[in-house]
Amino acid sequence: MRKLALILLLSPMFLFAQKLGDVAPPVEPMTFPANTLGLDIMIGEGGFGLGGFYRRELSDELTGFVDFSISEVKDEREFEYIDYWGRIIVVGKQNRIFQIPFSVGLQYRLFKESLTENLRPYIALGVGPNLVVTTPFEKEFFSSFGSAKAQVALGGYAGIGANFGINKRNLLGLNVRYYYSHLFNGGVEGMKGVFRENLSGVYLTITLGTMY
């Protein structure tokens, strides 16, 4: 009788110990929608910029994209001050310079096997034409576009960043990009008498998008 009672008492303990020793089932990898359409908010040396993009997942680690943006380019020699009447003065500035790059490229996801889906770092590389627009600095900002001139440059960018969260509908990301463009027709005049054939800049970009 005592043996039977002891067996009945120890049986749940053995069963419990066996459950503790069981290997947990592997977590199924999370899949996100293949398409993303979104907006880039850019912060650079020349101020703020805006852009848009479309991304298409090609594999678990590779994503193709097309994007464009518009931002102002400033010369490192520019020095701004505000006069008595509140006007922004830049001594020696001839034109405002804006660049509108259109890029096609690839985005490669890093550390997919070792990081959770909540953090998805990547590197990106894009190339394409860049529309460079100049407007006279002496004219008011919006009215100066009536005298705008445009040239086409060849350029691209390299970037590193990450997407955050496990929401399968909304995309949130942050990245840093280095843009470079080369002009072939003598360059553009920003500061008076200074023509620039190469335009470059670093931008911190906040990415907002919708996945579908």
Per-residue pLDDT tens over the stretch 83-106: 667 667 777 789 999 999 999 999
Q: What is the pLDDT of residue 81?
A: 67
Q: How many helices (H) and strands (E) does the chain have?
A: 1, 12
CA distance linking residue 154 with residue 97, whole number of Å: 16
Q: What is the pLDDT of residue 19?
A: 47
Residue that wins the pLDDT comparison between 63 and 25: 63
CB atoms within 10 A of CB 80: 10
CA distance linking residue 174 with residue 166, whole number of Å: 15
Q: 107 pairs with which residues across the strands?
A: 63, 124
What average pLDDT is seen over the chain? 85
Structure tokens at 68: 């464009």
Given a cut of 70, is residue 39 above it in pLDDT? yes
pLDDT band at 109; cut points 50, 70, 90: very high
Q: What is the pLDDT of residue 3?
A: 47
Structure tokens at 46: 């020349």
Number of residues in the chain: 212
| Percentage, residues of the chain above pLDDT 90 | 61
Q: What is the pLDDT of residue 29?
A: 64
Pairing of strands 95-109, 119-136: antiparallel
pTM beyond cutoff 0.85: no
| For residues 172-180, average pLDDT | 96
Given a cut of 90, is residue 49 above it in pLDDT? yes
| For residues 59-74, average pLDDT | 94
Q: What is the pLDDT of residue 6?
A: 39
Asked if 101 and 90 count as a contact pair (C-beta separation under 8 A), the reply is no
Given a cut of 80, is residue 199 above it in pLDDT? yes
Given a cut of 90, is residue 160 above it in pLDDT? yes
